[in-house]
A and B are shown apart, each in its own frame.
Chain A
Amino acid sequence: MAERKKEADHLPTSESDQDDFIEPDPPVVTNQAVADTFVNIDYEDLVNPDYDSHPSGYIHEIVRQGSHDDDDEPRVAVSSVSDVSTGEESSEDHTEISTKEISQALDEVSKLQHPEVSLEDEEEIDEVDTQEWRQRKKHVFILSQAGKPVYTRFGNEDKLVTVMGVMSALVSFVQDSKDLVRFMVAGDHKFVFLVREHLILVCVSHGAESSQQILLHLSYVYNQILSVLTFSTLHRIFKQRRNYDLRRLLTGAEKFLDNLLNMMDTEPGMLLGAVRCLPLDSQVRDNIAQTIVQNAKVKDLVFALILANNQLVTLVRMKKYFLHPMDLHLIINLVNASESFKAAESWTPICLPKFDSSGFLQAHISYLDDRCETCLLLLSVDRESFFILSECRNKIKERLVKYNALKAISDSLMKTSYSIQQCGISDLRHFLYKSRHMAQFTSPELEAPYLSETEQERLCGLYFYLHHRIHTSARPLKILYTVGPHETLLGWVTQSFELYAVFGPLVTKVAAIQAINKLLRWVKREEDRLFIPNHVTF
């Protein structure tokens, strides 16, 4: 606990503490108030490049406002910690620092900007100079405070020593003036920095996410590293040797970072700070939970959970502990990215940074079915409890087979979750509904027109946009209605839920409101199946 407190002290500011999922609850909005708070925004910029002649999304538009005069010479807007605004404002309110470091940084930045590099000596071409590398939508770099490369999402860290050196110089330069670099905007690209005590995480993106959303993603990445090493280890190592090459300890863990980043590109759960539950009859689910409770009465067992296809089937917890959605996402990522659990029962340490960043829990991980779809995790603080837990696991498996519960799980996995048609609302194309107090969300299957990868990415971008507009710290909204050429979006946040809905472009405001009310009633009816209202305790 003390360790966690210590870590919290190193957070740059409370505003940038993206770790915290508990947002201040906005007041309850009545329907009348809703109608009054509608905000119409210019939606023109939120279009797919495929549809539009100018290849720019909403983000690009913002960027252009900041650096419109000269496309060839990207101006860098450095936003520091004293400026808690979002990317939008920062471009107007930038501080220009002219120093050697910055100009160096600019050189590197312009490397990212200018694809036409002389290819004189084929052998000498750095990764950084390839088209493919530069065109990646979302780069993530991790470096130590000493500027040593730790991880890059694309390419090889060894080839990026210079780039990372510049990044660390930039961070320490701003730090020297008792300030903290949070993000900069250069041309199409956003550079977002998450500076922690021992590590610097940088994301360079020209995707749809806002700076704050990127910051949230970076904090997931940081927590993923803690999950593998614990904060104590990280601290101890860098205390002993500032120059330590952390890659040694992270070999084999890169795939967790890769997988996490890929998941964040397509799965809204991490953005929402909520997990998806496998739809199940509530009685079946209770049955599963009770089976676990009865057969895993083991001292020191903190959490027991079942996952199926990245969805939560059930969670049983020790009375005094809660599993934070961020930790749960890391567990899901661990299972999702590891094939080796399919071979045999496994016993592995895992640190859940929100639960306790200073130490490991020990996880007994096994699949309960031959097809390796249903995964049971038993998380204990006792390193020696493998065999006891293994016995529990066998009993649980036996009972679940007997009660047909495993079959119920695989049946639910077989059929697609649910179609938007089932909600019976014409013109509603897709939605995300998050229950705030449960930290769980639901959404229908992706259907036409969101079948192709580009369309799915665009839909994801719409949600990023809607989420950003509603949660932007400068002026958080309760409800947002916005009409575009291809979709009409409606986002609504209350004390108990967050709803993001995508309609066809022709829906009227009144019709959308009616549809939303109908949808809320539908969700209420289906709640038992789609959500887990309370997690059973041991």
Chain B
Amino acid sequence: MKSIEAKVVVLGSQGVGKTSVVIRYVGGMFSKAVSPTIGASFFTYKMTLNNYRIKLQVWDTAGQERFRSMAPMYYRKANAAMLIYDLTSADSFYDIKDWVGELKKNVDTPIVMCLVGNKCDMSDCREVTSIDAEEYASTIGALNHETSALKNTEAYSVTRVLLVTRVAITEFAILLAPP
């Protein structure tokens, strides 16, 4: 079995649920007590997939404006970027465009992008339609998914995000794998 390390950076506006998604992803739970991230938090996650032993190094960044200038430090060496928005906030979706622009400009190594609409348990207050998200994702060549860190139901489970990200990682593994 081959081992690879993959660096994932989680980007998105303040309060969209980046930390909640990561904690769900890494720890398998929803913590009500998450508080705004200061600087950035570092998580590791191990998994095996298609004969690869993959160690994910996840940088969960802070959405607060004052940390914005620190972001390059985390995405520069990233192999995958999770771009998280809150589907009940159109603004948080528009902010993704800035992130994508920044990544395109500053990262020259191949990076897998995954667009994630969080909080789909509150789809009553939805401000971003699935169609818009899908359309945008395809224009930037990103994977697209909706999820809820809160309600880990079958339909919207983070397991599915995980799956999507795994697919992303596999793609990445293929990129990395010697020909």
Contacts and interface: CB of A to CB of B under 8 A. Distances in A.
Same assembly: yes
Interface of A: 228-229, 248-253, 334, 338-341, 343-349, 363, 383-384, 386, 390
Contacts of A348: 38-40, 62, 67
Contacts of A384: 73
B160 to A, nearest CB: 23
B65 A344 contact: no
Contacts of A344: 41-43, 60
Contact of B66 (A253, A341, A347): A253
A249 B65 contact: yes
B82 to A, nearest CB: 16
B73 A383 contact: yes
A371 to B, nearest CB: 15
A339 B66 contact: no
A346 B35 contact: no
Contacts of A249: 65-66
B36 interface: yes
B175 interface: no
A229 B23 contact: no
Interface string B63-82: 01111001001000000000
Given A228-B66, A249-B65, A341 B42 contact: no
Contacts of A346: 37-42
B41 A340 contact: yes
Contacts of B73: 383-384
Interface of B: 14, 19, 23, 31, 33-43, 60, 62, 64-67, 70, 73
Contacts of A252: 14, 36, 38, 62, 64, 66
A343 B41 contact: yes
A530 to B, nearest CB: 31
B11 to A, nearest CB: 15
A415 to B, nearest CB: 27
A248 B14 CA distance: 12
B38 A338 contact: yes
A384 B74 CA distance: 10
Given A251-B14, A339-B33, A383-B73, A347 B65 contact: no
A447 to B, nearest CB: 33
B76 to A, nearest CB: 10
A347 B40 contact: yes
Contacts of B19: 340, 343
A339 B62 CA distance: 13
Contacts of A343: 19, 23, 31, 34, 41
Contact of B64 (A251, A334, A363): A251
Contacts of B39: 346-349, 363
B33 A390 contact: no
B35 A339 contact: yes
Nearest to A348: B39
A109 B87 CA distance: 46
Nearest to B42: A345
A390 B36 contact: no
